[in-house]
Structure 1
Amino acid sequence: MERTGDLKRTTKKENSFVKTDFYKELEKEKSIIESQLVFSLYANTNYYYDYELRLEDFDSSMWRFYYRMLKEMVEDRKLRKMDAVSVSAYVSTKNEKFQDLYKKCGSYETIEKGMNIVEDTNVESYFSELQRYKTLLRLTKAGFPIEKNWKTYQSMDLETLNEVLEGLVAEAFVDTQLGNDKVEDMFSDIDEMLKKSDEGEAKGLPIGSRLLDGIQNGLALGNITMVAANSGVGKTFLTTMLHIRSSIRNGEPVLIIANEEERSRYLQGLLAAYINSYHPEAEFNKSRFLNGGFSDEEWDLLNEARDWYDSKVEEGMINFVNMNEFSMAKTIRLIKKYARLYDIKYFILDTLKLDNDTYSRVNDNSWLQLQQNMVKLYNVIKPSNLNVHIWVTAQMTKTNRRSRYLDQSMIGMAKNVTDVVSSLMLIRMASLSEKTGDKALKVIGRDHHQHLLDEDKDYMIVFWDKNRQGKTNRQAVLEVDRGLNTIRDVGLTQIDNDLE
């Protein structure tokens, strides 16, 4: 009942907003942008699926009406060309009220004129402007001094506007307890520090493997853990099997920011991991999600796995966003939002890339941007700011596929991205010669005995080039099955850095 009351009060407050002349002018400008965007989509329906639009994005009832028509004709009727005959045929199937509204809006003549006037190749610009005006209207309604500083804000794109306003808010909190550069007495709260250390709070979330935790000592807050490997080795596999499953086991919320794999792939991996952990005889391979046609026994296993996750994972614990166009600025905004609003302490970025707009102009300085982006990322997550942890996956250069010993030079020209990383794990698969024969690895298990590797099984070798929380002179060996989604600690080994 209390929530309902709050909602009613909020609604009343929103309804009390009085539109100023400035606000009405913004609406008028936005209406023009809406018409340009709608006519661009009519002129070239190939653009329709390129932009995520909702009817609520249109303030003008007229352009909302025309967009709704387009949506139905493209999605339901599968029309690709908006000519007079096709549109008229569609309208003729609608009720009388709809047809009257269509005539009131100018019928096909309005569409035809619009398509002839608009430059549909500018559709990206129209879409961006729609987002900008939508934001400006919201800010004005919320009481931000947009009108007062209109000369400054008028020519800013959405990205710049966001940065400027974020800067103003940060500046307002300078010299307060939220300030980033607070001067403190070195030995103040020493007892509290010792108490937290005794309780293991500094260790952070367990990685999810006793073997790896024994070397790195968890995922400490205020730090970046980077996991690097060649394409196809299993960065997402490790992320799912270690970090995500550890978050679930420990009830620790996490936000996964992905730009390669779809959400369904992570879910499939988690379901397969459960089935093969609790029912190893089932040997449920992830390829079954591709082939389909589940048997009754498989359905029983899948339903059991689903029910288990439903019981363990509360709403809002495992959050996922698929970033269609990657940018570090958007990544940082997501981290700030979820850390501040939802108190999330752990984040996953799978995979680190150049900003999308950099791909089209790749040059000798592109990797410099990547390094600068990592510095920006660290400045946000470090202990004196948000104090959160981020797990970042990265790709090694293809030239290092045959390297025996892995270090940060394997990341190529972008190796300086590791300057701000607290732990750098580099992963490769064990070769056949390392499993059997004279060159077989000496792997020491937790029982302090040497363990032989099975030539028919797959093993990952984990190297640490940086580890602020532990040693780097030993490598961990994990037995993995990337089809069944199983992982098992084997032991530690030592591979010489002989520059092979």
Structure 2
Amino acid sequence: MATKKKKEAKDKFVKSQFYQKLLKEKSIIESQLVFSLFSDPESLLDYELSLDDFSNQTWKFYFFILKELVEKRQLKVMDSVSVTAYIQSKGDSFTAAYETRGGYETIERGMEIVESDNIDSYFNELQRYKTLLKLTEYGFPIEEKWNSVQKMSLEMLDDYLEGLVAQAFVNSQMGGDRVEDMFADVDAMLNEADKGIARGLPLASPLMDSIQNGLALGNITMLGANSGVGKTFLTTLLHIISCIKEEEQLLIIANEEEKSRYVQGLLAARINKQHQDANFNKNRFINGGFSDQEWQWLNEAKEWYVNKVQGELINFINMNDFSMSKTIKLIKKYARMHGVKYFILDTLKLDNDAGSRITDNSWLQLQQNMVKLYNTIKPSNLNVHIWITAQMSKTNRRSRYLDQSMLGISKNITDVVSSLMLTRMVSQSEKEGSTALKVINSDGYSVQLDPEQDYMLVFWDKNRQGATNRQVVLAVDRGLNLIRDIGWTQIDNDLE
């Protein structure tokens, strides 16, 4: 019954004169975009377009022809002979549909009319009209606000609608600034503390979690390391696996690694944890040629994750053009609409438009962006947690003790961070001999490190949830995607 009513409501808007007006205007944009693409076929590869982006059947038909000619026949320049040969190969009904729409003459005339240099503008307008139509279907007051809305860009429209929603809550208590009695509801606070509600998601390393004391909501946790040390590696094994185990929804916002790299890491970790003699290295995903045994392990791990990770528990987005504004909008959307409490940003960067020329002002922008991010996730607003990876300055590769100064000129971004962890590999001289680290395990016994094993050291420079005077030693195998708690140590910050 609810589905039927929803369809009836949509049909009402679709039949309205205003909706038809939007369709007509979108049709013009579609024709301009299609003819621009015919003028420069290779530019099709620069845009993410599908048949569903087109409402007008004629322009959808011509876009289909273009897509086939470019992607399947690698045509770089459109001409009558090539297009006609393709049409004839598709059969009589396809040829009839082509001729009914004016054939190649329509394409030729269109290419003469449009300004192909405006292709970016046509593409953006197409996205805008798609959004306007969808919002109209959802019942947003687009027609009533048309005088204000019609000249807005897609980004301005997004901000405008977000403002309308915020205005609806302006007189509510949600996220408002209120003056309160300091000790009101103190009993409720104590009961929540007793239940450990404020503790948040535990890390998958019990030793690290004993120092970190969970990923508390309303806070930012940052993990810093040099390039190639293993920020994504640790993020996967400490955070993502914990969300899967605890069945906590998570949105991963990535701007470096593809989704497949995270999935491969999770599969390798599962295989090697379940089959200790498997030695399934992540480079198998590069070399290929899986054996029957490997296929068995892979399918077993895949099935476990598919069954465990249901209901969009773990979501992923690869942000091609990073901006903090887009990141914040994604967090707001998934927190409010889907109830997501945990987010990962891998890796923190300058906004794309600032990255081409790094200046002191660029780092100021990054610092301001971090403040905006914290204001979004803090307890009095969305009350969610975000885990951020950051790259340390290249000049600190040989530093023994790690602190926030290792982030270089961008160190002030940590002002709003509740926990700052920094990590490096344990050097060979720290594994054996007189300079070996003194490591104590969770039972209080001294542990001798294996010179043949790789280890990571995790430092806490800042930790509102616990101590910062100890460092954790992890045994790591970045090929097998495994970590193991070894113990804790204390390295002097001798300011060398």
TM tier relative to shorter chain: over 0.9
1:392 is aligned with what amino acid?
I
- Per-residue CA deviations over 1:293-325 (Å, capped at 9, x if unaligned) read 111221222222222223322231111111222
Counterpart of 2:40, as a letter, is N
Aligned counterparts of 1:114 and 1:370: Cα–Cα separation in 2: 45
- The 3-state SS of whatever aligns with 1:464 is strand
Distance in 2 (alpha carbons) for counterparts of 1:275 and 1:12: 50
The answer as to 2:485 corresponding to 1:484 is no
Tell which deviates more after alignment, 156-165 or 27-36.
Answer: 27-36
- Mapped to 1, the partners of 2:182 and 2:81 lie a distance apart of 78
Q: Of 89, 107, 112, which residue of structure 2 is paired with 1:93? A: 89
Is 1:49–2:45 an aligned residue pair? yes
The DSSP-based 3-state class of the residue aligned with 2:422 is strand
Instruction: Give the Cα–Cα distance (whole angstroms) in 1 for the partners of residues 28 and 391 of structure 2.
Output: 44
Cross-structure match for 1:188: 184
1:284 & 1:305 partners in 2: Cα distance?
Answer: 12
Deviation at 1:361, TM superposition (A): 5.0
Aligned pair in 2 of structure 1 residues 49, 184: CA closer, same or farther (>3 Å)? farther
User: Which aligned pairs between 1:11-22 and structure 2 lie closer than 5 A?
Assistant: 11-17=7-13, 21-22=17-18
Q: Give the alignment's TM-score, normalised by structure 1.
A: 0.95
Provide closer, same or farther for how the CA distance between residues 180 and 252 of structure 1 changes in structure 2, counting only shifts above 3 A: same
Residue 388 of structure 2 aligns with an amino acid whose one-letter code is V
Q: Secondary structure at the match of 1:155?
A: coil
Task: Give 1:383 deviation, angstroms.
Answer: 0.6
- Give the Cα separation in 1 of the matches to 2:356 and 2:146: 32
Aligned AA (2:495): L
Q: Does 1:62 align with 2:58?
A: yes
Farther off after superposition, 282-291 or 161-170: 161-170
* Change in 2 beyond 3 A, CA 1:122/1:401: farther
Residue in structure 1 matching 2:346, options 323, 347, 350: 350
Distance apart, 1:173 and its partner CA: 0.9
Q: Distance in 2 between matches of 1:73 and 1:326?
A: 32
Q: How much has 1:472 moved relative to structure 2?
A: 0.9
Taking the aligned partners of 2:182 and 2:209, their CA distance within structure 1 comes to 30
Query: Are 2:250 and 1:235 aligned?
Result: no
Amino acid at match of 2:203: I
Structure 2 regions of 5+ residues with no counterpart?
none
Q: Tell me whether 379-388 or 107-116 shows the greater mean CA deviation.
A: 107-116
1:243-258 correspondence to structure 2 within 5 Å: 243-258=239-254
Instruction: Output one character per residue of 1:156-203: Cα deviation in whole Å (capped at 9) or x when no partner.
Output: 221122112212221221121324324433323222211111111111
Note the C-alpha offset of 1:19: 5.0
Match of 1:206 in 2: 202
Q: Any idea what SS the aligned residue of 2:360 has?
A: coil
2:362 aligned partner:
366
1:162 aligned partner? 158
Question: How far, CA to CA, are the matches of 1:184 and 1:41 in structure 2?
Answer: 61
What is the one-letter code of the residue matched to 1:410?
M
Query: 1:141 Cα deviation (Å)?
Result: 4.0
Residue 232 of structure 1 and its aligned partner are, at CA, apart by 0.4
| Superposed CA offset, 1:450-488 (max 9, x none) | 212112111111111110001111111111000011101
Gaps of 5+ in 1: none
1:123 aligned onto 2:112 = no
CA contact (8 A) 1:203 1:218 kept: yes
Q: TM-score, normalised by structure 2?
A: 0.95
Supply the distance in 2 between the matched residues of 1:18 and 1:32 (Cα, whole angstroms).
Answer: 18
Which of 302, 305, 309 is the matching residue for 1:309? 305
Give yes or no for contact 1:327–1:355 (8 Å, CA) kept in 2.
yes
- How far did residue 387 of structure 1 move? 0.8
Counterpart secondary structure, 1:282: coil
Could you say if the C-alpha distance between residues 457 and 119 of structure 1 is closer, same or farther in structure 2, counting changes exceeding 3 Å?
A: farther
In structure 1, the partner of 2:140 is 144
The residue type equivalent to 2:332 in the other structure is K
The correspondence for 2:445, drawn from 440, 445, 449, is 449
Q: How large is the RMSD of aligned CA atoms in angstroms?
A: 1.8
- Structure-2 change in CA distance of 1:141 and 1:289 (3 Å): closer
Task: Name 2:423's counterpart in structure 1.
Answer: 427
The answer on whether the counterparts of 2:33 and 2:119 sit within 8 Å (CA) in structure 1 is yes
Q: State the AA in 2 paired with 1:306.
A: K
Contact map agreement 1:173 1:179 (CA 8 A) in 2: no
Aligned-partner Cα distance in 2 for 1:161–1:366 = 27
Q: For residues 489 and 408 of structure 1, do their structure 2 counterparts lie closer, same or farther at Cα, with a shift above 3 Å needed?
A: same
Identity across the alignment (%): 66
Deviates more, 1:12-21 or 1:232-241: 12-21
Measure, in 2, the Cα distance between the counterparts of 1:458 and 1:391.
25
Which amino acid in 1 is paired with 2:250? V
Is the 8 Å Cα contact of residues 225 and 231 (structure 2) preserved in structure 1?
Answer: yes
Match of 2:324 in 1: 328
Describe the superposition over 1:321-380 as per-residue Cα deviations: whole angstroms up to 9, x where unpaired: 112222222222221121122211111111111222323454431122211221111111
Residue type of the alignment partner of 2:246:
N
How many angstroms does 1:224 deviate by?
Answer: 0.6
Contact 2:175 2:380 (C-alpha < 8 Å) held by counterparts: no
Give the partner amino acid of 1:446.
Answer: S
Alignment partners' CA distance in 2, 1:468 and 1:169: 34
**1:8 CA drift (Å):** 2.0
**2:39–2:116 CA contact under 8 A, matched in 1:** yes
How far off is 1:116 after superposition?
3.1
**1:270 has 2:246 as partner:** no
Paired amino acid for 1:443: V
**1:458 and 2:454 matched:** yes
In the alignment, which of 28, 31, 35 is matched to residue 35 of structure 1?
A: 31
